[in-house]
A and B are shown apart, each in its own frame.
Chain A
């Protein structure tokens, strides 16, 4: 393996529990920070990351350097800026950030320090989901190591820049992954989303300009600073730049996670890396990037995994972790499982989401129990519009509607079979 092709996972070895500080430094760790903080102005760091074309790996795909550039310049010394790491990985089917957090914590810490320097934040918070106990342990240890080496704390590497990083472990709610809800959670409140605008980059944590970045996004940053913009751009195979952790779960031969170039064809990920379907199972469809993405079909396997190409194919790359639907799992029941998740995790703040998602669940349960009517399918289709973009306070409900609307389109016969009473009963394992 050429480590230059796999910057994110070069320190993650099968026989090594995690990369220590010494392991991390031995492959060039903290050189990106040194370059940024001693050779470049914050503005130049922002420019590098913007030019590299790094897009947010949490799912939205916004240009990271551009986001950093939206933070207003500090007018006085009393002005505070904050950096917040979204390590609240909870999108069903997604297991990439836990891998990075547990196996190479210093990579994230270096990314945080560079990002904080770029936006001139002197305090950063890692918002970690409460269930990630091992990640919390390893991060706590790595933060302490970074402090002793003066990568962190007062006068980082004897420069004028100081930074403290605090680890906040959450108590579990999917909505905390939504940027503004996350900030409320960090302030010790119920995690309900905030009205936008103003956006967090202008008015975030306690009203100060705040950048919220995903774990994987920040893990890319040290390498851009160390090896440069051109190198980073050379990594992508499609429209987007860099590499990405892609994963597959479900009934494939080798479920797992691989660092591959952006724009790797979905077929290659499922058939080569995940080894194809298990014996006795056929591929019926897949969610390309977590629970809140539209189903895609086997005939779309040649689509390239990058933000715009997957969007053109009618779905979203999301988190890049594929969930496979096999031919022995009922798509209607799968959608019910997804909608039960979203209904449970709705924060209850806005009516369409609070009432619409449980309604969706009730309809699906009725259909599966054999009490459905054909009109219910129209009602479900209506809900996908009423809970769609623009009608709710945040993106939770529109995300919840993506697998439902595509299932109604692609697997309509499965819904109808329940309704007309000729369903072949399919139970999960």
Chain B
């Protein structure tokens, strides 16, 4: 494991990350409970959870790397591969599917020239499907970074990518 960390150029979790994770640990009677928040904190700073990061977080939490990996790979919003600066989650659950989710996917992937899960060439975007975003009265919808985009039309690319 040490070798893995050395090769990657990973210099350990930052003081900010350690501080934020430690604060979360204080909310629970068992620090294992902070696992998911800890992985999300790492992602906030680094976009995704690399192998050396996973090892460092597991050491901080005092649990085995295998246990943390089991958690990391279970949840939809933890990325174990690099993703773009902004992740576009288009909803593909039932109402959005009926109202045009496939069109949204097709337009986005074509415009960015990516397959689902890939990073765009400029490193800006990754497109992923997500389950119902709880905005079915405005279907089809997508979560762009942390912004919910509603009522996507035939012009979904412009609506999603405009700043």
Which A positions have Cβ atoms within 8 angstroms of B?
80, 89-95, 97-98, 129-134, 166, 168-174, 185-191, 206, 247-251, 255-257, 291, 321, 323, 326, 329, 334, 337-338, 341, 344-345, 347, 428-429
- The distance in angstroms between the C-alpha atoms of A265 and B100, with both chains bound, is 29
B contact residues around A90 at 8 Å (CB): 131-132, 134
A93 near B136: Cβ-Cβ < 8 Å:
yes
Contacts of A130 in B (CB 8 A): 40, 75, 77
Do A132 and B134 contact each other (CB < 8 Å), given the known contacts A206-B30, A337-B93?
A: yes
Query: Which listed residue, B36, B143, B146, touches A185 by the CB 8 Å rule?
Result: B36
A170–B137 CB distance below 8 A: no
A62–chain B nearest beta-carbon distance, Å: 23
Residues of A within 8 A of B75 (CB): 130, 170-173, 191
> In this assembly, does B9 line the interface, its C-beta being within 8 Å of a C-beta of chain A?
no
- Picked from A131, A168, A191, A248, the residue with its CB within 8 Å of the CB of B77 is A131
From known contacts A169-B37, A185-B36, infer whether A337 and B97 are also in contact, taking CB-CB under 8 Å.
yes
Q: Which range contains the number of B residues in contact with the other chain?
A: 35 or more
What is the CB-to-nearest-CB distance from B80 to chain A, in angstroms, rounded to a whole number?
12
A291 CB contacts on chain B under 8 angstroms: 93-94, 132
B102 x A131 contact (CB < 8 A): no
Nearest residue, chain A, Cβ from B31: A188
> Contact: B40 with A345, CB < 8 Å?
no
Interface string of B74-101 (1 = CB under 8 A from A): 1111100000000001001111011111
Q: B136 touching A338 by the CB < 8 A rule?
A: no
Q: Which residues of B contact A344 (CB under 8 A)?
A: 131
Whose C-beta in chain A lies nearest to the C-beta of B75?
Answer: A171
Please name all residues of chain B whose beta carbon is closer than 8 Å to the beta carbon of A247 when the two chains form the complex: 136-137
Q: Which 8 A-B pairs have the closest CB atoms?
A: A171-B75, A188-B35, A249-B136, A172-B76, A133-B146, A92-B93, A255-B137, A92-B132
15 contacts between A and B (CB under 8 A): A93-B93, A98-B135, A129-B134, A131-B77, A134-B148, A170-B75, A172-B76, A186-B33, A187-B33, A188-B33, A188-B36, A188-B61, A249-B136, A250-B95, A428-B99
A94–B30 touching, CB < 8 Å: no
Task: Give the residues from 95 to 127 in chain B that come closer than 8 angstroms, CB to CB, to chain A.
Answer: 95, 97-103
Q: How far is the CA of A30 from the CA of B30 in the complex (A)?
A: 32
Chain A residues with Cβ below 8 Å from B61 are: 188
Expressed in whole angstroms, the Cα–Cα distance for A172 and B94 within the complex equals 17
Q: Is B93 a contact of A188 with CB atoms below 8 Å?
A: no
Apart from A97-B134, A173-B74, A429-B99: 20 A-B pairs, beta carbons within 8 A: A93-B94, A93-B95, A93-B136, A98-B135, A130-B75, A133-B148, A168-B36, A172-B77, A188-B71, A189-B32, A191-B75, A206-B29, A249-B95, A249-B136, A291-B132, A329-B98, A337-B92, A337-B94, A341-B94, A428-B101
CB-based contact A91/B132 at 8 Å: yes
Among A189, A206, A251, residue most surrounded by chain B Cβ atoms (within 10 Å): A189
Q: Which residues of B contact A169 (CB under 8 A)?
A: 37, 40
Among A133, A171, A190, A326, chain B packs the most CB atoms within 10 A around the CB of: A171
Bound: A132/B136 CA distance, A: 14
Shortest beta-carbon distance from A143 to chain B in Å = 12
Find out whether the CB atom of A131 lies under 8 angstroms from the CB atom of B89: yes
A410 CB to closest chain B CB (Å) equals 17
- The answer to whether B130 and A172 have CB atoms under 8 Å apart is yes
Interface flag for B34 (CB, 8 Å): yes
Task: Knowing A131-B133, A345-B131, say if A334 contacts B98 (CB, 8 Å).
Answer: yes
> What A residues does B29 contact at CB under 8 A?
80, 206
Q: Which residues of chain B are within 8 angstroms of A92 by Cβ–Cβ distance?
A: 93-95, 131-132, 136
Taking CB atoms, residues of chain B closer than 8 Å to A93 are 93-95, 132, 136
Residues of chain B with a CB closer than 8 A to A334's CB: 94, 97-98
**Is A188 touching B94 in the complex (CB atoms < 8 A)?**
no
- Residues B131 and A187 in contact, CB atoms below 8 Å apart: no
CA distance A230 to B83 in the complex (A): 55
| A321 and B136 contacting across the interface, CB-CB below 8 Å | yes
Q: Is B39 in contact with chain A by the CB < 8 A criterion?
A: yes
Q: Is B162 an interface residue (CB 8 A)?
A: no
Q: Are B95 and A323 within 8 A (Cβ)?
A: yes
The answer to whether the Cβ of B53 comes within 8 Å of any Cβ in the partner chain is no
Interfacial chain B residues near A97, Cβ < 8 Å:
134
> Are the CB atoms of B139 and A189 closer together than 8 Å?
no
B15 contacts A by Cβ under 8 Å: no
Cα separation A428 to B136 with both chains bound (whole Å): 16
Instruction: Report the separation of the CA atoms of residues A171 and B78 in the bound assembly, to the nearest whole angstrom.
Output: 7
- Asked if B27 is an interface residue, CB under 8 A from chain A, the answer is yes
Residues of A within 8 A of B71 (CB): 188-190
A95 to B135, CA, bound (A): 5
Name the residue among A97, A129, A132, A172 with the largest chain B CB count within 10 angstroms: A172
Q: A170's closest neighbor in chain B, by CB?
A: B36
Q: A429: nearest residue on chain B (CB-CB)?
A: B100
Give the Cβ gap from A206 to chain B, nearest Cβ, in Å: 6
**B residues in contact with A250, CB < 8 Å:** 95, 98-99
CB distance from B70 to the nearest CB of A (A): 6
Can you name the residue of chain A whose Cβ is closest to the Cβ of B132? Answer: A92
Complex Cα spacing A257 to B137, Å? 8
